[in-house]
């Protein structure tokens, strides 16, 4: 009986810890535009320092920080509780904090895999399990080792071409859209040949600061 009572008491004490652990999930914190005069290591250090404000220590912040975005996106991914995420979102310099959700993608092609020599295969190559589409079939004489030769995309440089925007296009019409969320912290940023009349609820980039 004493043993059962002790176990019951122990479970009651552990319940808050278990609940807290279950609540933790990955959140993305976004801070707006990068400060151009900061080096990469300085950006990462500032992200960790900011995260430490809602954690118990610098060590806890470092262990929960999953990734620090340093280029086209200014922010980080970290494991937090809803309360920590809420407190972080209210801090100065934080534009938004939102849960990271896994997107469900499916292949929108039919013959492309075979044409490129990227058919399904049950073999392994350099530690890569190739039981899914997109991994080279080394038994295919038609160039099935394409991804292997390309080192699986390692050190690939992705370029973004900004060709501008035509706000008069129907593609950017905000007809039928709801009001701008009250949590939005941006402004209507004007520029050359782009006036405040071009800002609307659809053309969100024009509202970025």
Tokens 């492309």 identify what position? 112
Under DSSP, the state recorded for 194 is: B
| pLDDT, averaged across the chain | 74
Q: Which of 11-15, 18-22, 52-56 comes out lowest in average pLDDT?
A: 18-22
Under DSSP, the state recorded for 192 is: T
pLDDT over threshold 90, residue 152: no
User: Where exactly are the structural domains of the chain?
Assistant: 21-99, 112-153, 161-209
CA distances to 94, 133, 152 from 156, in Å: 31, 20, 9
**Sequence-separated (6 or more) residues with CB below 8 Å from residue 185:** 95, 96, 209
Q: What value does the mean pLDDT take over residues 145-174? A: 78
- For 22-62, the pLDDT digits (tens) are 588 999 999 887 766 777 788 888 888 989 999 988 888 88
CA distances to 2, 83, 111, 116, 144 from 123, in Å: 57, 46, 21, 18, 12
- For 66-120, the pLDDT digits (tens) are 988 877 788 999 999 999 999 999 998 899 999 988 766 666 666 666 666 665 4
| Segment of 52-61, 65-74, 122-131, 145-154 carrying the highest mean pLDDT | 52-61
Length of the chain measured in residues: 209
CATH class of residue range 21-99: alpha beta
Q: What local confidence, expressed as pLDDT, does residue 157 receive?
A: 82
Q: Please tell me the pTM assigned to this model.
A: 0.44
**59 vs 134: which has the higher pLDDT:** 59
Measured at the CA of 108, the angle between CA 177 and CA 159, to 5 degrees, comes to: 75
Contact assessment for residue 169 and residue 202, using Cβ atoms and an 8 Å cutoff: no
């Amino acid at each position: 009986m004493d043993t059962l009572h002790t176990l019951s008491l122990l479970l009651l004490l552990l319940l808050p810890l278990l609940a807290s652990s279950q609540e933790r999930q990955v959140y993305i914190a976004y801070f707006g535009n990068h400060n151009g005069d900061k080096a990469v290591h300085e950006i990462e250090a500032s992200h960790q320092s900011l995260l430490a404000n809602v954690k118990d220590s610098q060590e806890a912040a470092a262990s929960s920080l999953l990734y620090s975005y340093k280029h086209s996106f200014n922010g980080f991914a970290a494991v937090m509780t809803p309360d920590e995420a809420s407190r972080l979102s209210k801090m100065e310099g934080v534009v938004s904090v939102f849960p990271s959700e896994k997107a469900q993608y499916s292949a929108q092609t039919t013959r492309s895999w075979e044409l490129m020599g990227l058919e399904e295969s049950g073999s392994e190559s350099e530690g890569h399990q190739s039981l899914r589409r997109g991994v080279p079939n080394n038994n295919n004489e038609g160039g099935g080792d394409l991804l292997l030769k390309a080192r699986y995309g390692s050190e690939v440089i992705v370029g973004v071409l900004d060709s501008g925007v035509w706000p008069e296009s129907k593609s950017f019409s905000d007809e039928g859209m709801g009001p701008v969320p009250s949590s939005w912290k941006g402004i209507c940023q004007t520029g050359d040949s782009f006036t405040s009349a071009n800002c609307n609820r659809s053309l969100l980039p024009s509202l970025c600061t």
